[in-house]
């Protein structure tokens, strides 16, 4: 009788079409911005419950309570980095201070240079979603999104926006930067939702 060994843990956690690379590749659009703590700010805007824009200085935001999440990271270019330890601010913490109005079903995450990515509120509030300030016990490097990047581990990594500067609450969905350029509106790696032509009815704005 031939014994069958169990597949490596990485294989059981890999979405279809993904592979584990050597090292930790870094991919981003545009140049790496310069961080200036005195002028840096994060806004929560759009359909807030008060109708006002909430502003957080670097001192205030970096002083918010932190949580840690261990999660895999899946790039749409097909590599996956397994078991990352992210530390940062939970969206739930931010939403307590800047709550959305009733009827908000999506958010747009804005970054430096006008980059953006949209997602469902259920993705934004997932327990593993995080405004990360640290990776594996160290502050994020500039090319990985320092000082703050949103990490949404259960979606393809273009939704994990680097260099975050604003959260916009949306009552109606709207496509972000890559979504306007042909990427899938939802971006579930387990369903290989890479491109907009794959969208089913209801998975994207009209």
Instruction: Assess if residue 52 is contained within a domain.
Output: yes
Give the model confidence (pLDDT) of 29-41 as tens digits.
778 999 999 999 9
Q: What is the dihedral of CA 162, 164, 168, 172, to 10 degrees?
A: 0
Does pLDDT of 6 surpass 80? no
User: What band does 124 get if pLDDT is binned at 50, 70 and 90?
Assistant: very high
Q: Dump pLDDT digits (tens) for 32-80.
A: 999 999 999 999 999 999 999 999 999 999 999 999 999 999 999 999 9
The β-bridge partners of 68 are: 87
Query: Would you say residue 5 lies in a domain?
Result: no
131 in a structural domain: yes
Q: Is residue 32 part of a domain?
A: no
pLDDT digits (tens, 9 = 90+) for 140-167: 999 999 999 999 999 999 999 999 999 9
Indicate which CATH number applies to the domain containing 102: 3.90.420.10
* CA atoms of 149 and 92, how far apart (whole Å): 16
Residue 107: closest CA among 94, 138, 30, 36: 94
Q: What is the mean pLDDT of residues 122-136?
A: 98
Domain count, the chain: 1
Query: Taking all residues of the chain, what is their mean pLDDT, rounded to a whole number?
Result: 93
Residue 192 belongs to a domain: yes
């Amino acid at each position: 009788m031939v014994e069958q060994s169990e597949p490596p843990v990485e294989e059981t956690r890999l979405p279809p079409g993904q592979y584990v690379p050597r090292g930790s590749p870094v991919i981003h659009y545009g140049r790496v911005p310069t961080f200036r703590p005195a002028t840096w700010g994060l806004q929560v805007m759009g359909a807030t419950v008060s109708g006002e824009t909430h502003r957080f200085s670097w001192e205030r935001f970096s002083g918010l309570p932190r949580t840690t999440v261990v999660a895999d990271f899946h790039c749409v270019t097909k590599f996956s980095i397994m078991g990352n330890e992210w530390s940062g601010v939970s969206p739930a913490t931010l939403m307590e201070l800047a709550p959305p109005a009733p009827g908000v079903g999506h958010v747009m995450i804005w970054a430096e240079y006008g980059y953006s990515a949209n997602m469902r509120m259920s993705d934004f509030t997932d327990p593993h979603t995080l405004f990360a300030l640290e990776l594996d016990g160290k502050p994020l490097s500039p090319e990985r999104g320092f000082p703050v990047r949103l990490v949404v581990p259960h979606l393809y990594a273009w939704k994990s926006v680097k260099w975050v500067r604003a959260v916009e609450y949306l009552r109606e969905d709207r496509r972000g930067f890559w979504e306007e350029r042909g990427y899938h509106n939802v971006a579930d790696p387990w369903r290989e939702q890479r491109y907009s032509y794959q969208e089913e009815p209801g998975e994207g704005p009209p």
